[in-house]
Amino acid sequence: MKKPRQTETRKIATPVTTGARWQLQTAKARFSEVFRLARTEGPQWITRQGKEAVVVLPAEEFENLTARANQPSSLVQFFAESPLVNSGINLERDPDYGRPVDL
């Protein structure tokens, strides 16, 4: 007597909320959930062909990591706000007029 054939059920990977790993195709299909978990639970890792490819994280956390919020808007502002402004370091240079050359 033959055994009845069991139908395979395809499971959708439900990642763990902390440091979750999503396969790319699952992340695409459930992007709203990836987005929500990134905002509430923390970074969501997305893998492609079994290798970590990208991380979805809240914009505030990204700005903290890259220090984008604290970067000066110009080079002049950077030097004006430098901790070395009143340090007494002499940054003056003697003018260099070149060396004498015999022609």
Whole-number pLDDT of residue 18? 54
Cβ–Cβ under 8 Å, residues 70 and 55? no
Whole-number pLDDT of residue 13? 46
| Residue 72 domain-assigned (yes or no) | yes
Tell me which residue range forms the domain holding 56. Answer: 20-80
Whole-number pLDDT of residue 91? 75
| Residue 91 domain-assigned (yes or no) | no
Whole-number pLDDT of residue 66? 81
CATH number of the structural domain spanning residue 41: 3.40.1620.10
Q: Give me the number of domains the chain comprises.
A: 1
> Distance from first CA to last CA of the chain, Å, rounded?
109
Q: For the stretch 36-66, what's the b/e string if a residue is b when 16 or more beta carbons lie within 10 angstroms of its beta carbon?
A: ebbeeebebbbeeeeeeeeebbeeeeeeeee
| Residue 50 domain-assigned (yes or no) | yes
| Residue 11 domain-assigned (yes or no) | no
| Residue 9 domain-assigned (yes or no) | no
| Residue 5 domain-assigned (yes or no) | no
- Helix, strand or coil for residue 54? strand
Which portions of the chain are predicted below pLDDT 70?
Answer: 1-18, 68-69
